Amino acid sequence: MFFIADAYAQTAGPGEPNPMVTVLMFAGLFAFMYFLIIRPQRKRQKDHANLVDALVKGDEVVMTSGMLGKITKIEGDYVVLEVNNNLTLKFQKVAVHAVLPKGTIKAI
């Protein structure tokens, strides 16, 4: 009215978008998510499960908390670690982060 020009609706346009393009975009997004997020996470889970299944008495391990210890006993889903002379602690097997080479704890 004073300084605003009249606005007119656009009547002609490119038309309806192709639904196949939308489906292909969603499929591409899913493929992207699968290969960059889901697949690597499953591989890490499988590797960790193999590590936990291969634990034996005498292994020197690092826990997810950073604690180092030597496995003295395996009881089902739990491991008993000797972390110091006459000090043993019980942890869940899934809390094992890595198996260390033999003699690592003595060297530290």
Confidence category of residue 99, pLDDT binned at 50, 70, 90: very high
Q: What is the C-alpha to C-alpha distance for residues 16 and 41, in angstroms, rounded to an integer?
A: 39
pLDDT(14) > 70: no
- What CATH number corresponds to the domain at position 103? 2.30.30.30
Q: What is the pLDDT of residue 18?
A: 83
Q: What is the C-alpha to C-alpha distance for residues 67 and 2, in angstroms, rounded to an integer?
A: 75
Q: What is the C-alpha to C-alpha distance for residues 58 and 55, in angstroms, rounded to an integer?
A: 9
- Partners of 60 in beta bridges: 70, 100
Q: Are residues 43 and 78 in the same domain?
A: no
Instruction: Say which residues have a Cβ less than 8 Å from residue 59's Cβ, sequence separation at least 6.
Output: 70, 71, 99, 100
By DSSP bridging, strand 68-75 and strand 78-84 are: antiparallel
Q: Are residues 61 and 35 in the same domain?
A: no
Query: What is the tally of structural domains in the chain?
Result: 2
Report pTM: 0.72
Q: What is the pLDDT of residue 4?
A: 67
The mean pLDDT value for 48-54 works out to 96
The mean pLDDT value for 37-48 works out to 96
Q: Is residue 2 one of the residues assigned to a domain?
A: no
Domain containing 43: what range?
Answer: 15-54
Q: Are residues 46 and 72 in the same domain?
A: no
Q: Is residue 21 one of the residues assigned to a domain?
A: yes
Residue 1 or 96, more confident: 96
